[in-house]
Chains A and B, each alone.
Chain A
Amino acid sequence: MGYAIEMLNITKEFPGIKANDDITLKLKKGTIHALLGENGAGKSTLMSVLFGLYQPEKGVIKVDGKEVKISNPNVATELKIGMVHQHFKLVECFTVIENIVLGVEPKGKFGKTDYKKAEEKIIEISEKYGLAVELHKKISELTVGAQQKVEILKMLYREATTLIFDEPTAVLTPQEIKGLLEVMRNLTCEGKSIVIITHKLDEIKEIASECTIIRKGKGIETVNVAEKTVQELADLMVGRAVSFKTEKQEADPKEVVLRVEKLNMKNKIGVEKLKNVSFEVRSGEIVGIAGIEGNGQTELINAITGLENKFDGKVILNGKDITKSSIREKTLSGIGHIPEDRHKHGLVLDYTLEENLILQTYFTEEFSKNGFIKKSKVSEQSDELIKRFDIRAGKEGKTIARSMSGGNQQKSIIAREMKREPNLLLAAQPTRGLDVGAIEFIHKELLKTRDSGKGVLLISLELDEILNISDRVLVLFEGSVVAELETKNTNKEEIGLYMAGSRKE
């Protein structure tokens, strides 16, 4: 069997960092090849080189054995290479069809775009691979999972035979992940070749045949997946032994930090999103919120943090009613918030790392004087956090957040929120996009936060994460809390039943 793609000795530098240092990756035709490495190891960069977004300083790329020069994504498209990016690149206000044909519109009469023709072709593809999406909806109305299907359709519409997926499963629900892996398998059956970047090792075990591991920009080794255990893969990637199960002591909950009473919220078109939600979080405990995406998690977070203020009910922090307080007041009275969507809420991408680390504290005495920002204090803090949280960025605190790797962006948000030592830490999908080593570290930090007498509310779509570190679990289903369970007395199956709504307390 020949190679679909050969990337030989690729080197790509950014100011201050060698993102790829002499990496070689060979993709066998009709197979799935995993690319594994820590946050900032250079995975996205390597694939962006293949897709023509960056020009390597050194190295050769061969497609079907022939040396090529991929100077921009159009060339990549011509060579039948397609890519789904870590952060999607869709036009929000266009419909699905418009996005799919963008740039390769089929011409009808008088040079008008022939959407009928396009639609037929898209429907044919989507049926073949099981990628159903509503073609006439706008992207902004779609769930993340559906948006990803659009990205895949986009590649297939362009008749790509080599498909690159950059962390496709990070933003999906477990159900959606299953579906995606199925689609990928179908694709290889049709002779397509796939490179997948993922931090979830069991996914690699499940679908990939080979796995290339890179560490700090260097290619470490390419292994046959069947011959390695998940533990071995993890250790190879990090370069030390990693533990998956976080050791934790019994919780010792004390006084109530957060109490929400009878929260009721409707969305813009009047659909009830939260129904009579009441619960407490005590200091010294981690409360996990489990549930399938879209069952009220976002609304709950927005109500507590103040991002949304049209709702009924009460939010009480340390005995004080903060229902109607502004976001600033809530932040100051001790709420920390790791947001679900790091690019929308978590970061100002055009600010530097150190500026992002003072987003809520820039006006405090620590960082300002008479309205002027104390730059040296800002840098000091960022140096400290970069070290403590192992944030990797080319120009340290001066790195523009946009140019940081996804996982390191996430780490900076977590660092910022933990540094403020809030009484209540709301962590929504805190480890999304992090490598196993980083996840281990963040879980430990969350437990430390708990043990220092703070309350933690963990909202996660990953049951493993919830079971691993929370002390109590609440299950959200269609906007109601349908179960409250002690973690040590429950298991995945039981929670799963509640999540699906097939069991009520």
Chain B
Amino acid sequence: MSEDSIKRISPLISIILGLLLGYLLLLLVGYDGNSGFKYLFQGGIKGITEGKYRRIGDTLAQMTPLMLTGASVAFAFRTGLFNIGASGQMLFGGFVAVLVGITVDLPPVILPLVATLLAGVAGGLYGFLPGYLKAKYNIHEVVIGIMMNYVSVYLVQYLVKILIPGKYVIESAHIPKEASLKMSFISNIFRGSPLNAGFFVGVIALIVIYVILEKTTFGFELKAVGFNKDAAKYSGMKVNKNIIYSMMISGCLAGLAGATFYIGYTNHIKLGTVPTLGFDGIAVSLLGKNSPIGIFFSSFLFGYLKNGGSFMASSTDIPRELVDIVIAIIIYFSAISFVIEKFLNKLLVKMKKEGK
């Protein structure tokens, strides 16, 4: 075993440890762990072998916005920033998508795509301010990000009320069917699940940021600025501009997440709350080691667990709250896989020492 392979297997080991602990907790509280975990595991994929794709569809649908918020947070991390404002950007982007969906008249398929693109633009613009303040006045992006989350909630609430009020005061108007990212070719396969074209948006976004970060001169600059501003300046890079670009791209990804959620997963906006998916993005990004491929798998795991958790709660007498705790333990453990990595590395040195 080498250090490289330890890097690769440690997330797996930590997930398994988390599962074990969650299982023990169920036993400890006095529930039937076996059947609980049976439903937890089955919930996300059941029926897949018999050609019933609804549950796997649910899992992928849950995964979709997480893929994008995870990408948003990871992109910022990779370029030296902490985008805690992904939730606000997501909500704002989602609002623009819903607004376009309701008010603009375009042919089907084109309409949701335009709405999605504009949501990305809106999220990007929403990310401009924290980026600008960081670049110009060195105000920490976390402070601004948190405040901007609140601004987003109230701004969207206000805009919804004057532009697209819904039947009830706590929600916006619903988008028409043609504006939804739920497209028939997908729905036909995953009958009954909210899986939508947003999934492809997410996958494409992951590929795009992979290319930007690993292959382009643009990404080379962004990362250099993130790692060492002084050296970036010395090399002739425009430090401030790059910080703003990073934050805007991160915001754009969160905005796209908003579109896949509000005009894909659902069809309207619930007012008055910050979407927690933006914060979940932080955990997704950490577990995925800030790499696009890692994020694909970690968001899948999150979606799978969320979905399986619902199934466990509805199929057993285990209360919903306990299910959430069990899932939280699993997620928590997987997100701290670096601890496991450290431990394994120590073990490796020890083994080498005794082996020779």
Contact = CB atoms under 8 A, between A and B. Distances in A.
B167 interface: no
Given A362-B217, A371-B217, A373-B220, A345 B234 contact: yes
Interface string A280-324: 000000000000000000000000010100000000000000000
A360 B235 contact: yes
B129 interface: no
B220 A337 contact: no
A348 B236 contact: no
Contacts of B350: 55
Nearest to B3: A15
A57 B353 contact: yes
Given A58-B353, A373-B216, A373-B217, A331 B231 contact: no
Contacts of A349: 227-228
B200 interface: no
Contacts of A55: 346, 349-350, 353
Interface in B202-255: 215-218, 220-221, 223-224, 227-228, 230-237
Contacts of B8: none
A328 B218 CA distance: 15
A327 B234 contact: yes
Interface residues of B, number: 26
Interface centre among A15, A57, A355, A368 (most CB of B within 10 A): A57
A327 B233 contact: yes
Nearest to A364: B217
Nearest to A339: B234
Contacts of A344: 228, 230-231
A330 B231 CA distance: 16
A371 B234 contact: no
Interface centre among A305, A327, A348 (most CB of B within 10 A): A348
Contacts of B353: 55-58
Contacts of A368: 217
B224 A57 contact: no
Given A58-B353, A355-B220, A373-B220, A326 B236 contact: yes
Contact of A328 (B215, B224, B236, B346): B236
Contacts, number: 75
Interface string A338-362: 0100001111111100010001101
A372 interface: yes
Contacts of B218: 371
Contacts of A347: 228, 231
B291 to A, nearest CB: 15
Contacts of B236: 326-332, 360
B215 A373 contact: yes
B233 A58 contact: no
A350 B350 CA distance: 27
A363 B353 CA distance: 46
Contacts of A345: 230-231, 233-234
A351 B232 CA distance: 12
Contacts of B2: 15
A359 B3 CA distance: 28
B234 A362 contact: no
Contacts of B356: 57-58
Interface of B: 2-3, 215-218, 220-221, 223-224, 227-228, 230-237, 346, 349-350, 352-353, 356
18 contacts: A55-B346, A57-B352, A58-B353, A327-B234, A328-B236, A330-B236, A339-B234, A345-B230, A345-B233, A348-B231, A359-B224, A362-B221, A363-B217, A368-B217, A371-B216, A371-B217, A372-B215, A373-B217
Given A327-B234, A345-B231, A368-B217, 8 more contacts: A15-B3, A57-B352, A307-B234, A326-B236, A332-B236, A345-B234, A349-B227, A351-B223
Q: Which 9 A-B pairs rank lowest in CB-CB distance, beginning with the nearest?
A: A328-B236, A345-B234, A359-B235, A327-B236, A350-B227, A55-B349, A348-B228, A363-B217, A344-B230
